[in-house]
Each structure stands twice: as structure tokens, then as C-alpha cells.
Chains A and B, each alone.
Chain A
Amino acid sequence: MAVAARPSQDFRTEFRTDSLLGLKIHLPAQNLFLANAVAAVLALALAGGFAFLMGFTRVPAIGIFSQNPDAFGRVFTGHGVSALILWPIFFEVAALIFTSTMLLGARIWSNKLGWIAFLLMILGAVLLEASVIDGVADVGFTGYVPLVASPFFYLGYVVFATGALLAIINFALTLAQARADGVLKGTLPLVTYGAATAAILATVAIASGLVALVPTLLWTVGVFPSVDPIFYRTWFWGLGHTLQYVNVVAMIVAWYALAALTFKANPINEKYGRIAFTLYVFFTVPVLGHHFLVDPSLSPAVKILGGTLFGFGLGIPSLMHGLAILGSIEIAGRNLGAKGLFGWLKLVPWKEPGMAILMVSMALFAIAGWSGTVGTTVQLNMVTHNTMWVVSHLHGVVVGGTTMAFMGLSYYLVPLAARRQLFSRKMAQIQPYLYGVGLLIMVVTLNWAGFLGVPRRTPDISYGGASPDWFLSMNLAGIGIALAIAGGVLYILNMVLTLTHGKKFQ
């Protein structure tokens, strides 16, 4: 292949052999991985800061910004941008670099392109956060037109998306080059196969996002007279929905990696997981319909087909992977001599941070995933639409599922790339359970609040004293929020201290 014919520089000086996993690591790729991972952790720290202010605004007994809608507008936009866009995508780019270079013993196709992509993403992130904090983008991370933010906000999205697209191109060419170099023989490892699936979905998501955001950017600077609200909403969810499945696929990649790294648990059949990954590509896009189940713009047939039936289809690969990973853990336990139906559960290393986080992540994703499957039905959606039920569902799948899985993977890969030991193993052992219990309480109480009808995305639910008795559910959620924040702080501290004070490997 022509693209792969770039001459290598000095082969020996560009690689090192890692002492932890015995991987042959391309040094430029390692640095690029680390840059993206650090940016991800910083974005998560910002997301957590916004989460604290947002969460305790929503707890009526505390209500930090309940009388300050201006501040609330900034906080909830900042939380969405940081937690749903910046943190996962920075980490996913790091995961693409890891699975295409370090894992295969391959070199990155272009170091320069990697850094250009990274700097564009940083520039986009800074534009986004600055316009949010400056208070010129109080529109929510969804930015539904004709609500209007500063052009710099949309520019931030476009620049960030362009950077991410370049990182995906670099990933694809790195795999092609690994094949041409002879480093990659046969088919891709399962986790790299999953990462490639995520990259394909991410390309679709970014393309759809640009269709929504570029006209909107041009509208805010006066080139276009208007952007149709339904046009924007549809294409925005082409981005937002597909991106959530990029997160799901990347989460499953992290699950497989964690099972293999912490317990040598590997799937029984290589075909099964690959088929499941491929199913995501077919089922993901139509299911963006489930965002429009109570919109006036679509016919009931389209809603039921796209939102509900394809939604059930989308549950298939997630269930396949969940069973395969649990099954692989059971087999690994039986290979160690476990007896009886559940004896293997005793041999699972519950004190190993990566295994603890894997099990908690799978449990939370299963609970909130099932609630999501139920929620794609038209009738129930009318009950739960834009209530705290949505917040319960998405925190279960995105925070409990994806964010926890990424945290787990970073406990192993950041020390590997930074060549420093994890600062505190103890903190990493407690963190999954603390964070997980906090999230579980949040998921349960907010689900209840949702069925009571408590709306999302509002600083205050009193409506001048006219609202029903909603307050107990939201106050109880505060306990979960506090525990989750504590778990988040523990993670961020551990990561930062690992980078600054972790003991160096020789």
C-alpha cells in the first residue's frame, strides 16, 4: 500500500520494551497516548467540578444555584460538554493509539498528524470551555437552535471534531502500515477490532455533527438567515446518539482488556465478539429515533421502527458481549479450580482495581441499559421524556458504564505509558466501590424522581409552590451525588499524583 511505504527512522531508538506487559512500545506513540490521556483526565476533572455544582443545585435541600439561572446555564452546559464530549473522546483517541500501536508493537503512521489532531482538539476544547465559563453559551451541550450561543462555542465544536477526525484517519493508516510492515499478521486482536468499530461509528457521528454545527456557526455570524430547529435537532442527535454508541463500543473494548489484564480471562470464541461488534455498526444509526418519540415531526411508524424495534436490536450486541465477558471470567475462575455453580465468584480478584471496576461497570451498565430498552417504547417515553428518568438512564450507562471502564483501563495504561507506578493502589481499590455505590443510589433515586415527573435541566422545581411532592426523591439523590463526587475526586487525585509523584520504573 502506498500510504504504508513511509521509511522508518532508526528502528532501535524509536522503540522500547515495556517491563509490565512485555509490549514493544513505539516511543512517539507512547507520548501521544499520554498527551491524550492527560487531556482526558483534565476534562473529567472539569466535568466533575461542574457535576458538583450541578448536582447540588438539583438537590432541593442544598440548591447552590437554584435561584441563579444564569450560573445554572453555565454549569449544566459545561457539565455536558466536558463529560459527554471532551472526556470520552480524548480517552477514545488515546485508546485508538494504544490498540493500533503499543498493543501491536507497531509504529504510528504519522506522529505529526497525531499532534496536529491533538492540538486541534485542545484548541476546540478551550474555545468550548472558555465560552461556557464566560457565560456566552448558556444553551446546554445540545445547543438547540434557535437558542443562540457565541460563534466561538460552535467553532469550538467544529475544531474539536476536525481534530478527532484526523486522529481517526491516523488510526486507520497506522493499522494499514502495521499490516504492510509485517507487524500485524492475520486478523486484528479483538480489542483492536472493537476500537476499529468505534472509529467507524465515530466517523459517522462527526459527519452528522458537522451537518448540524457548520450551518449553525454560519448562522451565528450572519451568513445564513436561519437554521430550522427540527433540522438541527435531528442532525445533532445523529452526532449525540451515535457518539454514545462510540462510548459503548469503547467501553466494551475496555471491558475485554480489563478482563484479560487482571484475570487472564479471554473469550471462548473469537468469532462471537467480532460479530457482536459488527452488529453495532448496523443497529446504531436508526435508533437515534428514540430521541424523537414524543416529537411532533415524525410519524408513529417511524418512531416505532427506528426508536423501539431497532432499539431492541441494539440491545443484542450489548447482551452478547456482557455474557461473553462474564462467561470468560467464570471459565478463568474454573481453570483456577473453582467448584459449584457460583464458586468462581469467590476466586474473582475483587481487590484488583481493574477487576472491581469491570464488575461494577458491567452491573451499572446492565441496570441502566435495561431501563433504556424499556424507555424506547413510545408509551413509556411519554411518561419519562425529559424527566430525571433520562438523567438516571444516562448516568448509569455513560458514567457507570463508559466512564468507569475508562477509569479502570487508565489505572493500567497511564502507569505503562508514563513509566511510573500508580501512586496509590489502595485508593484505586476503594474507588470503584465508592463511585459505584454513589452512582447506584443516583440511578435508583433519579429513576424514581423521573416516574414522579421531576423535570431535568432546570435549577428549581418549586414552580412557586405549585409543584407536586417531588423533593424527597431529589434530596435522597444527594447522598449518591456526594459519594460519586468523592469517588471521582479519588480517581483524579490518584491519576494526577501518579503523573507527578508516582515511583519511576527504571
Chain B
Amino acid sequence: MSSLASPEYGWWKPFPRHEKLWLIIIGVAAVLLSIITIVWAVSGKQNVPVASYNVTPAAFEKQVADFTAKHQIPGATGEVRVPPGEDAFLMANMWSFSPVLHLKAGQPYTIWMSAKDVLHGFSLAGQNLNLMIAPGHAYGVRITPQGPGTYLIFCNEYCGLGHQAMTGKIIVE
């Protein structure tokens, strides 16, 4: 019998002992992993964002502009202070994130993000939070900043020649 030649007639035989054992080990592993995954999804504290809505890039741009105008920090163009309890909006476009968000430590926020032009990615440096941002979809990310500081946002999906310089900021007060 060889992998390189047709087997002789009658090759469809019951599995020998070893193969039965392998199949049991593999089957148990696959079933256990699946059960853990489902239990974890239902009752664990998974925090992958689930909220999203469809929005045209132009409509989202207007939402961001209205939000920015409403909460603009006097004297600091493009920076907003988000009152706790209100949703924040963040737009990704070639090659920046806007506006700069000022958040309060310990307060939960939902940040809605979408893209104006091409696919982008949202990464929060040092925090291991990586998400996709697509034009046409707004993604609602729930975060609770833990401590004050300036956090770097950078783009994680290749979006053209300015990609490596595409950054934004979240300032936690």
C-alpha cells in the first residue's frame, strides 16, 4: 500500500486502533473548544463591539461635524470634550482621525467610528484594541478609560501612501 499508487480492491476497511484513538482525541478537542466558545459568548465578559448601523460617508461626516461643533473646546480647534453619558463620533479619512476626543477616566463611553473614503483600522497603542473601520458602516465601540493620559490612535489597515502617519488622539482627563 502506498500513497503514490491506487490501493487494491477492498481498501475501505474499518479504522485500526490508533486511528480510532486519534479521531476520539480530535473530536473531543473540537467539541470542548466549541462548547467553551459558546458559553463564553453567552455568559463571559466578551467586549468585542456588537453595535453597528449603516450610514453613508456624507451623512456620517455631518454627524461628526455636528458633534464637534456642539462639544468644541474653546480655543482648541478640532478637540472636543465629551460629556459622560453622551455618544462620541470619530471619523477616519486619508490620513487622520478626527476629532481629538477628551474623555473622563472611569466613565463609560460609546465611540461611533466610520470612514470617509477607504477601509481603515482603529488601533489604540499599548491597549491591544484593534478594529476595522469601513465606509458605509458605523461601529459602536464601548470603552471605559482607566487612567489619565494621552492615548495614540493609529490606523492598522493599509490605506495608501500616508498610512504610516495616520494617527489620532484620545486624551483622558
Q: Which residues of A contact B (CB under 8 A)?
A: 69-70, 73, 76, 103, 138-140, 144-147, 184-191, 228-230, 233, 256-257, 259-261, 264, 266-273, 292-297, 299-300, 304, 308-309, 312-313, 315-316, 319-320, 323-324, 327, 373, 377-379, 381-387, 451, 453, 455-461, 463-464, 466-468
Contact = CB atoms under 8 A, between A and B. Distances in A.
A300 B50 contact: yes
A479 B29 CA distance: 35
Contacts, number: 221
19 contacts: A103-B4, A140-B158, A147-B158, A189-B3, A261-B4, A269-B16, A270-B7, A270-B11, A272-B15, A293-B48, A296-B137, A300-B50, A316-B27, A385-B131, A385-B132, A453-B125, A453-B126, A455-B154, A466-B152
Contacts of A304: 37-38, 41
Contact of A455 (B9, B37, B46, B123): B123
The B interface, classified by DSSP as helix, strand, loop or mixed, is: loop
A394 B38 CA distance: 26
B33 A312 contact: yes
Of residues A70, A319, A373, A464, which shows the largest number of chain B Cβ atoms within 10 Å of its Cβ? A319
Contacts of B3: 189-191, 256-257, 259-260, 266-267, 273
A385 B162 contact: no
Nearest to B150: A466
B125 A229 contact: no
B132 A295 contact: yes
B13 A269 contact: yes
B123 A233 contact: no
Given A378-B41, A382-B130, A269 B15 contact: yes
A70 B4 contact: no
A261 B159 CA distance: 46
Contacts of A189: 2-7
B77 to A, nearest CB: 20
Given A324-B19, A386-B156, A378 B162 contact: no
B59 interface: no
Interface residues of B, number: 70
Contacts of B126: 453, 468
Nearest to B37: A308
Given A260-B2, A386-B157, A146 B117 contact: yes
A73 B161 contact: yes
Given A144-B118, A257-B4, A458-B158, A294 B16 contact: no
Nearest to B42: A304
A377 B41 CA distance: 10
Contacts of A261: 4
